[in-house]
Amino acid sequence: MHISDLRREYSRAALDETQIADNPFTQFKNWFQQALDSHIVDANAMVLATCGEDAQPSARVVLLKEFDERGMVFYTHYESRKARNLAANPRAALLFYWKELERQVRIEGQVEKLSAQENETYFQSRPFESQVSAWASPQSQPVPDRATLEAAVQAYRKRFQHEPMSCPPFWGGYRLVPHYFEFWQGREHRLHDRIIYQKSDDTWTIGRLAP
């Protein structure tokens, strides 16, 4: 089969203006809970797209760790490529894709760093080995080989056997504060439903886009 012949119909559900919440965070919460109830693996996985000073878009999968009406939270190394992009251009986009439900959610907004206390609280909730990895990995920086990383992990394991481990100063969270949501529901014959929420002066307006 040629790659151009790969296609399927979408027919699981519909998305109508009469079915959605007035608030996009409520709508997202409803869909996210349905993704969890459907036992989708990594339902909190989302593509994070950023763009730095060089105007080169960059995308990668990260994990949503918290959300409320303030925004969507994720964590990373402050020297990673995504963090450097956000330092230069604190705007980003998120994409959730739940294949089993034939759904996507796109979110766009401004990004801000979390407080040191928020970082510490989350860091202490992580498993020990994940904490060690945060200290040991110079994320997005060149390393000569895997053995170098494993040696760094061993060194930090030994260090933190004898002293408390706190959140590294070079690691922490970001909150994307949305001004745009799009909820996409796959439909037959490519006539997909696309409902958008756009924020202006603290008010959300709802619209529909052509597929």
Give helix then strand counts, H and E, for the chain: 5, 9
Structure tokens at 12: 């699981």
CA distance 88 to 28: 29
Question: 167 vs 19, 77, 81, CA distance in Å?
Answer: 43, 11, 20
Structure tokens at 126: 């992580």
In single-letter form, the type of residue at position 83 comes to A
Catalytic residue (choose from 12, 70, 159, 190): 190
What b/e string do you get for 128-160 counting C-beta neighbours within 10 Å, with b at 16 or more? Answer: eeebbbbbbbebeeeeeeeeeeeebbeebeeee
Q: Is 190 a catalytic residue?
A: yes
CA distance 9 to 60: 27
Residues present in the chain in total: 211
The catalytic residues are 190
